[in-house]
Structure 1
Amino acid sequence: MQTQITNIRTLGALIKEARKSQTLTQEDLAGITLTGRRFIVDLENGKETAEIGKVLQVLNALGIALTASATWKD
């Protein structure tokens, strides 16, 4: 499944959906990714200042691949 991410809220919703589908709590995911529960809550709610390194840790832990497409090169 591919989802076009155009803003942090969409990414947060995808992360929340993936976490729930894997029956993980926010606390579980925070422990797996060595982040805090507050970070997971903020990320799922679309906090725009989320640290990219931590976001990548969360995506990797959930098995979400992040790719970029340079549309200006078409």
Structure 2
Amino acid sequence: MTTILNAEMLGEVIRRERKRQKVTQSDLAALAGVGVRFLRELEHGKSSCQLGRTLEVLQTLGISVDANTREQ
């Protein structure tokens, strides 16, 4: 499990998994229903990327997201 603390870390996880699956940015964008430019910005950690589109990319790659609260 990887703890993601910022947009750059999320982008790295996406890029690493895309490359592991040997999928091009163009192919992933088409499969996820997003633009190549969006995917490129997402992989580079642009913090203004839209959450809904981001979740589509994650789902397409088979990456699950768990939300945990801070324990006090």
TM-score, normalization by structure 1: 0.94
- Root-mean-square deviation (CA, aligned residues, Å) is 0.8
| 1:59 alignment partner in structure 2 | 58
Measure, in 2, the Cα distance between the counterparts of 1:63 and 1:18: 9
Q: Any unmatched runs of 5+ in structure 1?
A: none
CA distance in 1, matches of 2:59, 2:16: 15
Query: How far apart are 1:47 and its partner, in Å?
Result: 0.4
Runs of 5+ unmatched residues, structure 2: none
Q: Map residues 16-55 of structure 1 onto 2, 5 A cutoff.
A: 16-55=15-54
CA distance in 2, matches of 1:40, 1:29: 8
Q: Deviations over 1:7-59 (max 9, x none)?
A: 00000000000000000000000000111100010000000000000000000
SS in 2 for 1:54: helix
- Correspondence for 2:8: 9
TM superposition outliers: structure 1 runs of 4+ over 6 Å: none
Give the % identical residues.
40
How many residue pairs match? The answer is 72
